[in-house]
Structures are given as C-alpha cells and as structure tokens.
Amino acid sequence: MLWNAVETVSLWCLSVLFLLLHKKPTPQAEESFLQFVKFGLVGVSNTAVNYVIYLGVLLCLRALGLWKEYDYLAATAAGFVLSVLWSFFWNNKFVFTVKEGEQRSVWKALARTYLSYSFTGLFLNSVLMVLWVDMLHISEFLAPVINLLFNVPVNFLINKFWAFKKEG
C-alpha cells in the first residue's frame, strides 16, 4: 500500500516534468524513474542501517575496552561491510530484479556492488569534499549533502548498468 502511494506520486512528478518539457514519458522512462526512486528508498534504509551498525559496534567495543584508539574505524568498517550487504540484498530483490528468461551471477553482482559503493562512498566522496571545502570554500557541514546530488545518480547508474547487469 505504501509503495503504491510512492509509485503514484513518483509517476505524477515524472509526468509533470515531462509536461514542462512538452513530452510524454515513455514506458522505459517510467520504469527507470521508478527504479531510481526504489534505489533512493533502499539508500535511505542503507544509511540508517549503516549508522545503527556503526553505533552498535562502537558502543560494544568501548564497553569491552577493545581497540580504544581505532574503535571508530572498526565501527566504520563494520557499518560499511554490512550496510552494503543490506543494500545489495534489497537492490537485488526490489530494484534491479531479474525477469523471467534473464540471468545474473549473484556473486559477481555482489562483488561489483562492493566496488561501486567503494568508488562512490570513498573515492568520489573524498574528491568532491576537497572540491567543495578546500577549493570552493563551502561549509564542511553542507558539502556531504551536496555530494548526494552527485553520488546517488552515479551510484544508481553504476549499479543499474554494471553491478546488476543481466547476463546472456
């Protein structure tokens, strides 16, 4: 029921955008746009899962007195590994589904998912942060939000056309 409401609102927004462009959205455009919306929803849940895992691991390590100087790094690594696995599961099941007659290697898609998230989450984020903060003097508090405008579409495209690419 909730997804039906999100889908209706998303398609309405797409229709308004195409209306402003004096065009009619194609079924392919609608499908890709809905995939992008689903990808965004998975991304929001991924961010929440990452943060919960980060906090849980950090608090556990501190309670146990383990890795005192590096506990936040261990928590970051655990959050990354498990949240990307979470994201892979939902993107595979909900966003980039395999239709009848299509095939995809789950292990290859999983490896590619980790690579794509590593690229956007580590490399692209870092480069953009230097651009925004050091070169354009944008607040380091605002810069990560601006990064989303680049990282989400890039990550979507990498996942759609490479990580979850169908075979055969």
Q: Over 70: is that where the pLDDT of 168 sits? A: no
Polymer length in residues for the chain: 168
- Which tens digit of pLDDT belongs to each residue from 4-26? 777 788 878 878 888 888 888 88
Q: Specify whether the CB–CB gap between 9 and 61 falls below 8 A.
A: no
Region of residue 137 (phi > 0: left; psi between -120 and 50: alpha; otherwise: beta): left
φ and ψ at 23, to 5 degrees? Answer: -135, 165
Instruction: State the pLDDT at residue 131.
Output: 94
**Residue 59 predicted with pLDDT over 70:** yes
Mean pLDDT of the chain: 90
What's the mean pLDDT in 100-127?
92
CA distance 43 to 45: 5
The predicted structure's pLDDT at residue 110: 97
Is the per-residue pLDDT at 93 higher than 70?
yes
pTM of the model: 0.84
Q: pLDDT at position 100, please?
A: 85
pLDDT at 92: 95
State the average pLDDT over residues 131-153: 91
pLDDT for the residue 17:
82
Q: Helix/strand/coil (H, E, C) string of 91-147?
A: HHHHHCCCCCCCECCHHHHHHHHHHHHHHHHHHHHHHHHHHHHHHCCCCCCCHHHHH
Looking at this protein, which amino acid is placed at residue 99?
K
Cβ–Cβ under 8 Å, residues 104 and 163:
no
Residue 106's pLDDT is 93
pLDDT at position 56 is: 96
